[in-house]
Amino acid sequence: NWTYLNDFHAYSAPGASRTNYKGGNSANIGGALPDWRGSTTLTWRKNQWGAGLGLYYIASYTDVNATTTQAVWDSLGNPSYIKPVFNNGAYSYRYVVHDTKSYNLFVTYRVAAQNRWLNNTNIRLGVNNLFDAKPPLSADSRGYEVGLYNVMARGLTWSAQVTKKL
């Protein structure tokens, strides 16, 4: 489920011309536009048991609201956590929000019993954000990009689910 998001398009109204923000990080628009986002899950099943490990990845991006000048960038020794971005005929120097990974884990058990009320009942226990990863710092008023990291901001989250197949 990997997606490359390097070509962002915006439409203002039906029949209106399209605005193409090529290279989402270079456009002077609000919000975070990482080039890559993806998720994958590895699952296992044997008899009544099952398990899975999922990975959710968000690539680095430049923060349009955290900028500085070339003089400051030069005085800091051109650090890699600030990236020059060419936009509207000039350079701005933006903070680079690092990439993130979070992991989810679950285990399932399917009850096989003679009792019709218990037979074909699935029990699932899981944990989201297994290593309690924190969202990276950004210039958003909450300190992180809510649109990208709302689930991660909740921290390590446990879940239990029981389902019955009728």
DSSP assigned state of 24: G
For residue 30, what pLDDT is reported?
A: 52
- Mention every residue, 6+ apart, whose C-beta is less than 8 A from residue 166: none
Q: Which residue has the tokens 């929000």?
A: 97
pLDDT in tens, 111-135: 988 887 888 899 999 999 999 999 9
For residue 31, what pLDDT is reported?
A: 62
Average the pLDDT over 32-59 and give the result. 92
165 vs 138, which has greater pLDDT? 138
pTM: 0.74
DSSP assigned state of 148: H
DSSP element (H, E) containing 72: helix 70-75
19 vs 41, which has greater pLDDT? 41
pLDDT band at 140 (very low <50, low <70, confident <90, very high): confident
pLDDT in tens, 60-90: 999 988 999 999 999 999 999 999 998 888 9
